[in-house]
Amino acid sequence: MQPLVKTTDLYLAFGGVVAADHIDFELHQGERLAVIGQNGAGKTTFINICTGYLKPQTGKVYFDGRDITQMKPRQIVRLGLGRSFQLPQLFTEHTVRECIELAAARRNAELSWFRSLESTVDRKDVDDTLELVGLSDVSRERSSDLPEGKRKLLDVGMALALRPKLLIMDEPTSGVASEEKHPLMKTVMHALEERKVTSWFVEHDVDIVAEYASRVAAWIDGRIAADGPPDEVLENPQIKSDVLGV
């Protein structure tokens, strides 16, 4: 089966710091990949290369069989590679519903000065997305007024409105109260499964990784030091010592 994401010989250095050390990597449709590693290990740099925010010095990135190495982020999004951020990227002057509508309208390339936002999108599709991410009850609130957990869910909802094949999430539970982390991830992963979206998330909470990932890739110094089932990677002595600090 053709991988959804494939990288070959990816290399990128910032001065004397190697952020991506000749990385060969594959991600297949339906996987739930968790990426772990200490700060500075190269996790976000790798995501930025795969989503077009950084260009490698050597190597290639393929998405769904297509070379996307030199494409811009917006071009890559249109192909079906979505992303949510550690700090949610919201339209803070708009309501929750309008944020979803703006994303859906962008997907359809139907934003116009001459039509109302609501008239450019499928109302049921917007309703379904709000329901999926558990935000129907706050749909008329301004996004800037939401607590952090719901802001994270809205960021994911906006990404889902773009109908991605893959969603990359950078620390989806960071800044969220500990008692809210599992309910948030349960909602997110259910939404992704309902839409048949492959998931890849960066996470520091080992309990979240063990519960929601089908595969774990552990990063050390710009390379993948271990890659496999969660129990195998999380019990690896080197990963426990150098990544988890056990």
Mean pLDDT by 10 residues, the chain (246 residues): 94 92 96 94 93 96 96 92 84 90 74 55 88 94 92 92 93 89 95 96 94 96 95 94 86
pTM of the model: 0.89
pLDDT at 1: 79
Strand 166-170: give its sheet, edge to edge: 81-84, 166-170, 198-202, 32-37, 215-220, 223-228
The DSSP code sequence of 77-140 is HHHTEEEE-SS----TTSBHHHHHHHHHHHHHT---TTS-TGGGS-HHHHHHHHHHTT-GGGTT
Tally of CB atoms within 10 A around 167: 24
Burial class, 158, CB count within 10 angstroms (exposed 0-12 / middle 13-18 / buried 19+): buried
Residue showing tokens 């030199």: 70
